[in-house]
């Protein structure tokens, strides 16, 4: 016997989105992609300005300049991606995931800025390999070093240090601030 809808069972229909909801979703996706791209360009501009026009210009060798560009792409693109999502979290919520409080959103933005500074510091450190390696190898090393530098941070059990991420479910699926039994 099949498990589908039979003569005694009501047919369960999945809710369909309207054309307006589909258009709003498409506009939101395009908006987030646009802010991510613009953030990446802004990050590159900031990083190249850091490498060329600031007091840090002596710190970055000529063959390591592209490392700062790669770090700027990562920092700016990540910021451009997450800031609209944090703002959307302030505005929209569901029963499962309530809206972000302003203090939570501010903490998320500050954590994002700290991570951006971390990426730029890593890119300055990797740029130092331009003193001994040719530019092509420095770029290749930069892509891997900057791209994977966040992995040790992701593996640290931050909950043991009392640092939790608001809105992220930990452990058995319950929120740390909920009073419901597991």
Domain limits, the chain = 21-157
Task: Give the residue-averaged pLDDT of 80-88.
Answer: 86
How would residue 34 be classed by pLDDT, with cut points 50, 70 and 90?
A: very high
The secondary structure of the chain as a DSSP string is --SS--TTSPPP-PPPPPHHHHHHHHHHHHHHHHHHHHHHHHHHHHHHHHHHTSGGGGTS-GGGHHHHHHHHHHHHHHHHHHHHHHHHHHH---SSSPPPPHHHHHHHHHHHHHHHHHHHHHHHHHHGGGGTS-HHHHHHHHHHHHHSTTHHHHHS-GGGGT---TT--BTTTB-TT--S--
Task: Give the residue-averaged pLDDT of 15-43.
Answer: 88
Per-residue model confidence (pLDDT) at position 30: 93
Quick check: 56 pLDDT over 60? yes
How would residue 63 be classed by pLDDT, with cut points 50, 70 and 90?
A: confident
> In this prediction, what percent of the chain has a pLDDT beyond 70?
79
> In this prediction, what percent of the chain has a pLDDT beyond 90?
6
Which carries the bigger pLDDT value, residue 66 or residue 160? 66
Per-residue model confidence (pLDDT) at position 16: 79
Per-residue model confidence (pLDDT) at position 162: 59
Task: Give the residue-averaged pLDDT of 156-175.
Answer: 57
Task: Give the residue-averaged pLDDT of 133-155.
Answer: 85
**pLDDT per residue over 86-135, tens digit each?**
888 888 877 787 787 888 888 888 888 888 899 888 988 888 888 888 88
């Amino acid at each position: 016997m099949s498990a589908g809808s039979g003569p005694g069972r009501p047919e369960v229909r999945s809710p369909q989105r309207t054309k307006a909801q589909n258009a709003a979703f498409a506009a939101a996706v395009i908006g987030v992609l646009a802010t991510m791209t613009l953030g990446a360009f802004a990050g590159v501009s900031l990083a190249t300005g850091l490498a060329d026009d600031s007091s840090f210009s002596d710190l970055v060798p000529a063959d390591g300049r592209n490392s700062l560009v790669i770090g700027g792409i990562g920092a700016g693109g990540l910021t451009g991606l997450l800031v609209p999502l944090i703002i959307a979290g302030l505005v929209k919520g569901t029963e499962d995931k309530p809206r972000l409080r302003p203090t939570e959103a501010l903490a998320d933005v500050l954590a994002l800025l700290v991570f951006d500074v971390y990426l730029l510091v890593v890119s300055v450190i990797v740029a130092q390999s331009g003193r001994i390696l040719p530019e092509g190898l420095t770029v290749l090393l930069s892509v891997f070093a900057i791209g994977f530098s966040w992995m040790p941070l992701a593996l640290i059990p931050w909950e043991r240090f009392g640092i939790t991420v608001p809105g992220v479910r930990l452990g058995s699926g319950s929120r740390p601030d909920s009073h419901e039994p597991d």
